[in-house]
A and B are shown apart, each in its own frame.
Chain A
Amino acid sequence: MSCSNHNVYQPLIAVLDEIHDEIQDVRTFYWHFEDPQDQGGFKDFMPGQFAMISILGSGEMALSLPPSPTEERVFFTSRRVGKVTAAMHALKPGDRFGVRGPYGNGFPMKDYYGRNLIIVAGGIGLIPLRSVIIYALHHREKYKKIQVFYGSRTPKELMYTENLKEWRADTGFECHLSVDKADETWKDHVGVVGSLFKKPGVEMPVDNTTVFVCGPPIMFRFVLADLKNIGYEDKNIVSTLERYMKCGVGKCGHCCIGVAYVCTDGPVFTLEQIHRLGEVI
């Protein structure tokens, strides 16, 4: 976490390099800092951390970091839902915007060395978990079994399709895909993402395992119930929380849940911690 003497609210100017359409209303924005010296902070971060993005004149928002620190390029992926994301989606290559961060605790990936990793993502919940997957594959020998379960509503709504192709071809770990509703192109599993756990041939280790879960609230609830049935303990299930944020540094008060600030104490919490916060998630 950066904590230097400069003004913590100062956004640094970034230049948009390339835009990639992921799915309907979701785009990935590749970028670099105008001043190469600013890039330092975005070479050394942890999966699960986030950044504050300023779309000049529209406002500032929090976005999770989908790239892994082990990759060369940095980018954000956002869905167009509000005022600032709409302005972001109107940007063209070469346009400037502001970035500050990275903020938050991130997943303690080094603490998970020697453990099995199970990554469960639904829809755009893959955005923060993409970083985890790339990071874990980069340090493949540090982890035992790695399983990815990713589901979306339709085949057209699967994110990061290039990555998915690579992951499916990789024999070093398992990547299971599912869609709620198939179309004529879809030959794979159909059903909610939790149904993949019961797919023939899938064996999920329970002991010495950390499970990452990210996705829409309804998927989250059902997946947690499935995981509980299999026997995973709350302390071994981790997720990242989303909140309205204005500062990212524990001052504006918007993301406060119980005694915690999502921006500085999170956004990564174990399910055990989430229950202890005592608020509706």
Chain B
Amino acid sequence: MKGRLIHRNDIIHLIDHLRNNYKVVAPFEGRGRDSCFDEVTDSNRGTVALHLPNPYYPPKRYVFPQIQKLFRIWDGGRASVEEIRDESKVAVVGIRSCDIEGIFHLDRFYLGNTFKDDYYEALRSRLFLVNMVCTDTEKDIDDDCFCVCADAGPAARDHFDLQLMDLHDKSGEFLAVAGTSAGEDLFFQPFFRKAGPEHVTRRRDVLEQVRKRFKIATSWYSSATKFITQGQIKESTWKHVGDRCLECGGCSYVCPTCSCFTVTDRKTGPATWERVRMWDSCALSGFTRMAGGHNPRKAVHDRRNRRFFHKLEHMVIQKEFTMACVGCGRCARVCHGGVGMPAVVEMLRRETAAAKMTEKS
């Protein structure tokens, strides 16, 4: 991997350069700690934020939109089902390491396995990712972040086109690393300059400081995975989790790795419809309800059980190649019942370990 330097004030030039070929989205500050990804335009380009809280609404939507049109359906005299292609070409500047890992997880899910998802592939093949390493311990990282436990951050090792990292010194330089040849091609642009060994040392020092910032430094994934895989979790523990779930589905919608969707036909004219797919959540009771009313997963705690089973069980991890959690902390931030991933992992570990102690004595 080659390293280059880019000055903080030149990052907007990098964005402008990318705008020649891509629809560029970048993070912007909202009110309070609110933030969002939005398209960079001539009028807002001056307000792109480099350090800010990671937006709730995950950038997975640029490969897996919340609502995506699949087909145009006609049924009047003749019948046809015609594919709708989204030709947009997006570059995400400022995507965090956890979200990079999330997209990589979706890649393996949608493009691997028996069948390949064409809609995902079309958007993914044109996606350009400029990763921003979280280095600002005040703004970038908060108490709910735990990417260090999920082996996803604070600096992604791969799966980006270009990675930028603030060196936090007086010069205002960022260290840029290319992850793909497309990323490396950008180094020919005049705003990139050669980096020296001192910058690599500086990078290491910054990361070492950043790692100390994480409040949750050990989410007990391995013991939770072990207990789930061996079927040792008590039904009562799942009930405790279920009792706190408000069935809002928020955890799935903000999750960078959640991939479930539902499909519906929307009427657009007298004999025309659009088939769209949209994000769905296993927290909702209708998720498994069949025509006729039979629902194999009716109880809330059973549905919660399935979410964490799917994210942490050994066989599922083997099948989907990684644990489906990247430690972004979004579920912990949005959950009104306080049953985001770190809290549940802790509940599973503590209650199961306690139950085992009681059994022994």
Residues of B within 8 A of A258 (CB): 309, 313
Least Cβ distance of B83 to chain A in Å? 6
In the assembled complex, A250 has its CB within 8 A of some CB on chain B: yes
Q: Tell whether, in the assembled complex, residue B79 and residue A252 are in contact, meaning their CB atoms are under 8 Å apart.
A: no
Q: Mark B223-261, 1 if CB is under 8 A from A, else 0.
A: 000000001000000000000000000000000000111
Q: Considering the complex, which residues of chain B in the window 283-335 have a beta carbon less than 8 Å from any beta carbon of chain A?
A: 287-292, 294, 296-297, 302, 306, 309-310, 313, 315-316, 319
14 A-B residue pairings within 8 Å (CB atoms): A1-B114, A7-B119, A8-B115, A8-B117, A9-B119, A60-B275, A96-B78, A246-B263, A250-B115, A251-B109, A251-B110, A256-B306, A264-B114, A280-B297
CB contact under 8 A between A8 and B81, given known A252-B280, A280-B296:
no
Q: Tell whether, in the assembled complex, residue A8 and residue B118 are in contact, meaning their CB atoms are under 8 Å apart.
A: yes
Q: Tell whether, in the assembled complex, residue B73 and residue A57 are in contact, meaning their CB atoms are under 8 Å apart.
A: yes
Residues of A within 8 A of B62 (CB): none
Q: Tell whether, in the assembled complex, residue B267 and residue A249 are in contact, meaning their CB atoms are under 8 Å apart.
A: no
| Cα A54 to Cα B302 with chains together (Å) | 31
Q: Tell whether, in the assembled complex, residue B265 and residue A253 are in contact, meaning their CB atoms are under 8 Å apart.
A: no
In the assembled complex, B222 has its CB within 8 A of some CB on chain A: no
In the assembled complex, B137 has its CB within 8 A of some CB on chain A: no
In the assembled complex, B264 has its CB within 8 A of some CB on chain A: yes
Residues of B within 8 A of A82 (CB): 291-292
| Cα A81 to Cα B291 with chains together (Å) | 6
- A250 in complex: contacting residue of B73, B113, B289, CB < 8 Å: B113
- A10 in complex: contacting residue of B81, B117, B267, CB < 8 Å: B81
Residues of A within 8 A of B262 (CB): 246, 252, 254
In the assembled complex, A152 has its CB within 8 A of some CB on chain B: no
B contact residues vs A (CB 8 Å cutoff): 70-71, 73-75, 78-81, 83, 109-110, 113-119, 231, 259-265, 267, 271, 273, 275, 277, 280, 282, 287-292, 294, 296-297, 302, 306, 309-310, 313, 315-316, 319
A contact residues vs B (CB 8 Å cutoff): 1, 3, 7-11, 13, 54, 56-61, 81-85, 96-98, 217, 242-244, 246-247, 249-254, 256-259, 264, 278-281
Least Cβ distance of B81 to chain A in Å? 5
Q: Tell whether, in the assembled complex, residue A60 and residue B263 are in contact, meaning their CB atoms are under 8 Å apart.
A: yes
Q: Which 3 A-B pairs have the closest CB atoms?
A: A82-B291, A253-B260, A96-B79
- B291 in complex: contacting residue of A61, A251, A257, CB < 8 Å: A61
- A279 in complex: contacting residue of B83, B116, B296, CB < 8 Å: B296
Q: Tell whether, in the assembled complex, residue B291 and residue A249 are in contact, meaning their CB atoms are under 8 Å apart.
A: no
Q: Which of A11, A249, A259 has the most CB of B within 10 A?
A: A259
Residues of A within 8 A of B113 (CB): 250, 264
Q: Tell whether, in the assembled complex, residue A250 and residue B280 are in contact, meaning their CB atoms are under 8 Å apart.
A: no
| Cα A41 to Cα B27 with chains together (Å) | 47
Apart from A84-B291, A252-B261, what 9 extra A-B contacts exist at CB < 8 Å? A3-B115, A7-B83, A9-B118, A82-B291, A244-B290, A250-B114, A251-B109, A253-B261, A258-B313
CB contact under 8 A between A251 and B115, given known A10-B81, A13-B81, A59-B265:
yes
